[in-house]
Each structure stands twice: as structure tokens, then as C-alpha cells.
Amino acid sequence: MESLTNRKKVVSDKPMTLWEKAYLPAIISGMITTMRHMFRKRKTIKYPEETREFAPIYRGQHVLKRDEQGRENCTACGLCAVACPAEAITMTAAERERGEEKLYREEKYAATYEINMLRCIFCGLCEEACPKEAIFLTDRLVPTFFERDNFIYGKDKLVETLDERIDITKRQHTGKRTQL
Amino acid sequence: MDTALLIEKSILVLLLFLVSLGAAAYMTYFERKLAAWIQDRVGPDRAGPFGILQPIADGVKMFLKEDFIPAKADKWLFIIGPGIAMFTALITSAVIPWGPKLHLFGRDITLQVADINIGILYVFGVISIGVYGIMIGGWASNNKYSLYGAIRASSQMISYELAMGVSAITIVLLSGSLSLNDIVTQQSGVWNIVYQPVAFLIFFICALAELNRAPFDLPECESELVGGYHTEYSSMKLGLYLFAEYTSMFVSSAIMSILFFGGYNFPGMSHFSGNTLAILGIAAFAIKIFLFIFVIMWIRWTIPRFRFDQLMHLGWKSLLPLSLINLLVTGLVIAFKNGWF
């Protein structure tokens, strides 16, 4: 058959010549190769001092965003929980009371919002499903704990604080929210 | 025997002991570094600057590990095995001339523990005992992998000692003496490697096999035999085996530089004399030993292991005939030069 790529190689099993049987030339060429590697640049990243750069769309620990005025974006619509293939997200919705306009963006909000980090597979479907640009995955790592309870992240850990906003400008699903 | 000589030799023995152990310890560090460099890695760099305290950390770790003896093992042999390995590795260095005469405190100090007139035979004898350490250890472990490793080690040693011995005989023919000191002093002009490149090659390959170094590390090949003869060993007993391996690597590098690369001789030797010459000689010898160690490690991290039948094929069908032919040719040339025809 005509080969489609130029990578076809004819394999032959002809007996080795005396030069090849001597084995030493092959060894020496191999040793030259390893010698060249000795002077190459090292690939090692010395971990505690250096860390590997995250990809811009790295999917780590979630954040529940607030808008520019510091109001929570999440309206507890539950689309993220529906989209979640690992069924890691649970929430309860509540109605916004008078006087809470500064806290919540729309008249419904999530009273509790929990993600079980042991169930979460960090697929990012919640982020994709969210119509309000409320939940995003970030380049922060979920730390390890000894107790399983600690892995259930509530709003205390998920919602970003006002003075410490999480940068999500690199995410792909930003900018789909309609301005109110 | 005068007391000064006794003190002098005792100090020399102590120094040699420390140097061999220290060299072996730092060879493990160097080996790991070299392996890392060849594989584009950094290697140990945490213990101390550039990781130079790594051997000490390793030693402490070895001592603190649980010293375990399997229930079905032969306890006496199990303990004596690593001892023999270490002992033989250390006593080989007794006949090695480490440098020209040193002049200190009004005495001429020969840097050789014992200038016995059968130096080469002694070295070969001790190396042959060395395999007992491996064999006994493998047998006493009462473990099939250990036994396999031990059997491989002994068959490999027997096979390669022949070719090694024959190529050493060519050197003996050339120098007319079995004393290592004589062999070194005769190479002050031209090194033996010029006359005997083939013998050197054979000797070097056989030395790799005798040291159980890659590509001939079948007695302890991790991928087939778990750990080979030291599978059941732990703690400092394992440490002694590994140490013995590195010590014998150091000693055999020294032997190879003596037999083929002029020992402590170096070009331009005649310009120096006295203690300067001695120190430069020791330095030259150390550099040669280091280069040999480097090449042996370099080979280890380049070439994959031989299959067992390939090993036997190489030993019996290639190296032994080749060394015999080399011996014959050398003998004929010497006879012709001496006018026996």
C-alpha cells in the first residue's frame, strides 16, 4: 500500500556486520548521547521554592463571586447542582428581605451553598451552567485534611470576601451576564 | 621491627580505611548526582549546600532502620555475609602503592601498606573471596530471589575472572613482576595502555562484571530479582553490602590505573622531587581513580543490562579467546625482542 505519511520504515532482519557485532561503537555513541544530556538545562522545578505555573484555565477550588458593588451574584437557581455530574453541590434558597439589597444582587439568594470537595471532580460544568456568573473555578488548590467533614465547603469558604476579591478574568465563561 | 615503622603503617592503614569509606560514601552521592544529570534532573540538593551532606543523612538513615533477620534465615551466615563483603573490599587496598615515597620526620615513608611481591595474585585472591559475601548472603536469606542473585553472582565471577586474569598476565609478562610497586615504577616512561589497549579493554569489561556494575548487574537486578542477593537485608547490613560495592569500585579503579595508566606516574614527573613529587603523584593517582569511577558510573547510566545468556556468551566466547590471543601475541613479541628466535 502506498504510505500516506513519510514515516514508514522498512524493517530488515539482516545479520549484523562485524562492526555492529563488536558492540563497542554502539556503546560509545550511546555514551556520547548521555554525556550531552549531562550539560542540558535541568527540567526540575524545585518545589517549595519554585512552583509550576498554573494554566490560565486551571480548575481548582471554587469561588462564589460578588459583583462590583459587593453583592453576591448567586440567585440559588440550582442549575449548577443540576449540571454537576458528581452531585457535589447542594443549596437552599431564600428570599431577600428589605434592607438586604446591599448583600444580594437579586431578590432570591442562596442561604446555604455547599460543595463537597471529596465528590467534586473539578470538571467546571457548574461554571458553564451558571447564568449569573456566580460560580467560578480558580487556580487555588483545595488543601488536604484529616477529617472528611472539613471537605464540605460552605459559603464561609466559597464566597469571596469584599477586601480580597478573586481574579477570574482568565476564565472562559466570563462576560455572559446581562447587565442589570 | 621498629616502633616507628609500626606507627607509620598503623596511621597509613587508618588513613586508608577512612579514605576508602569516605570515598565510597561520596561515590554514592556522586552517582546519584551523575544519574540525575544524565536524566536532565538536579539530583540530591536538600541536605547541605548542593546536597553534600546527603551521604551522612543516608548513613544515619541506614543505622536507624530496623535490623531485620528473617525467621527461616541462617542467622550466623546471614550476619557474616555483609561482613565478608565489606572486609574483602577493604583489605584489597593494602597492596596498592598510593604515591611515591614521602619524606617526613627524617624518615622515608612508602605509601603502601604492604609491598608484597605477589601483589596482583593477592588482589585476585581477595576479589575471589569477595564473591563469598554475596553467595553466603544470598544463600542464608532463604529466599529464592536472593539465591538466584547469589548464583548469578558466582557464575558471573567465575566466568569473568578468567579473562580478567589472562589480561592481567599480559601485564605481568610485560613488566616481569607480580609486585604492584614494580609495575608502577616501570611505567614512569610509557604507560602500559600504549602497549596493551586490548588487554585494558578486556580488563575493564571484566572489572565491571566483577563489580556487579551495570551492564553486568545481574546479581541484583531490581527488575527481575526484586533486590537480588540483598533482598532480605535491611539496615546497616544492607548498608555494608552497598558500601562494599562502592569500596570495591574505588579499589578496582585504583588497580586499573596501576596496571594500565601508570598509577601515580604523570607526564613531566622528572621536574619534581621529594615531597612535592609525592603529593603531585598522589593527586595524579586520585585524578585517575576519579576518572575511572566517573566512566564506570557513566556506563551504568547509559547501557541497559545484559541478558544472562548474553553475559555468558560475551565472557566465554568473546573475551576469553580474545584475551588468550592477546596473551599469545604479547608473549611472541616479547620472545622475539629478547632474541629467542
Confidence of residue B334 (pLDDT cuts 50, 70, 90): confident
- Determine if the pTM surpasses 0.80: no
C-beta separation of B184 from B118 below 8 A: no
Helix (H, G, I), strand (E, B) or coil at A153: strand
**Mean pLDDT of the residues in chain A:** 86
Say how many Å lie between the first and final Cα of chain A, rounded.
64
Q: Most A CBs within 10 Å: which of B39, B45, B201, as the mutation test of the A interface?
A: B39
Taking the Cβ of residue A31 and every Cβ of chain B, the question of whether any pair is shorter than 8 Å is answered with: yes
In A, which residues are within 8 Å of B40 by CB distance? 37, 40-43
- Residue of B24, B238, B244 lying closest to B146 (CA atoms): B238
CA angle A159, A162, A163 (to 5 degrees): 125
The domain limits of chain A are 62-158
Residue A11, pLDDT above cutoff 70? yes
B contact test, residue of A21, A31, A45 with most B CBs within 10 A = A31
Q: Which residues of A touch B41 (CB under 8 A)?
A: 42-44
Minimal Cβ distance to B40: which of A30, A33, A37: A37
Q: Got the DSSP string for B80-96?
A: HHHHHHHHHHHHGGGG-
Average the pLDDT over each of A6-10, A26-30, A45-49, B49-53 and give the range with the smallest value.
A6-10
The percentage of chain A sitting over the pLDDT mark of 90, rounded to a whole number, equals: 22
Q: How far apart are CA B219 and CA B160, in angstroms?
A: 14
The length of chain A, given as a count of residues: 180
In angstroms, the separation between the Cα of residue A44 and the nearest Cα of chain B is 6
How much is the pLDDT for B251? 87
Chain A residues with beta carbon closer than 8 angstroms to that of B39: 37
CATH of A62-158 given 3.30.70.3270, 3.50.50.60, 1.10.3720.10, 2.40.240.10: 3.30.70.3270
The residue-averaged pLDDT of B57-61 equals: 88
Do the Cβ atoms of B42 and A30 come within 8 Å? no
* Sign, CA torsion B131/B135/B137/B143: positive
pLDDT at B116: 82
Nearest CA in chain B to A36: B38
Q: Is the peptide bond before B215 cis (omega within 30 degrees of 0)?
A: yes
Of A31, A41, A46, the CB nearest to B298: A31
Alpha helices in B65-143 (DSSP H): 75-91, 119-140
pLDDT tens digits for range A114-159: 999 999 999 989 988 888 888 998 888 888 889 888 899 999 889 9
CA distance A37 to chain B (A): 5
Place of cell 448567586: A74
Phi, psi of A112, rounded to the nearest 5 degrees? -125, 150
Minimum mean pLDDT range among A117-121, A172-176, B9-13, B197-201: A172-176
- Burial call A143-171: b when 16+ CB within 10 Å, e when fewer: eeeeeeeebebebebbbbeeeeebebeeb
The predicted-structure confidence for B280-326, as pLDDT tens digits, reads as follows: 888 888 899 999 999 999 998 888 888 888 888 888 888 899 899 99
Amino acid at site A81: A
Question: Chain B closest CA to A16's CA: distance in Å?
Answer: 15
What is the distance between the alpha carbons of residues B33 and A177, in angstroms, rounded to a whole number?
55
For residues B334-339, average pLDDT: 84
Q: Which domain holds residue B68?
A: 3-337
